Amino acid sequence: MEPGGARISQLRRGVLEFCVLSLLGDEELYGFELVRRLGEVDGMVTTEGTIYPLLSRLRRDGWVTSSWVESEAGPPRRYYALSEAGKGALASFTDEWVRFRDAVDALMLGERS
């Protein structure tokens, strides 16, 4: 792993749950589909299996709810949806994130250009 790799992975871990909340804010998704969407974004998920413990915790924290839905192909699916508390958490994180991102951009990229 290159220097700073561990930091990046910590950073990713910190924001991953809000990316999950954000995806669920658009529509209800079941696990496999959610993981697939996250995987489409380069550099977001390295080991897909680790999304499940995260989903489990989000459910326990009450930010996400889930319900079982029969599927035509394969086993019943657990669909995840954003709760009211999850919406609130996502909204306040989004505000913070925009400020944070702009600040980092200004400091790191602003100097170079």
Residues that bind another protein (CB under 8 A): 30-33, 35, 39, 46-50, 52-57, 71, 73-75, 77-78
- Cβ within 8 Å of residue 82, ≥6 positions away: 21, 24, 25, 63, 64, 65, 90
CA distances 13 to 6, 9, 27, Å, are: 10, 6, 22
Q: For residues 43 and 74, which CB has a smaller minimum distance to another protein in the complex?
A: 74
Min dist CB 113 to another protein, Å, is 37
Give me the phi and psi of 34, to 5 degrees please.
-60, -45
CA distances 102 to 17, 53, 83, 113, Å, are: 20, 31, 28, 15
Q: For residues 69 and 106, which CB has a smaller minimum distance to another protein in the complex?
A: 69
Min dist CB 6 to another protein, Å, is 14
Q: For residues 77 and 87, which CB has a smaller minimum distance to another protein in the complex?
A: 77
Q: For residues 55 and 90, which CB has a smaller minimum distance to another protein in the complex?
A: 55
Min dist CB 48 to another protein, Å, is 5
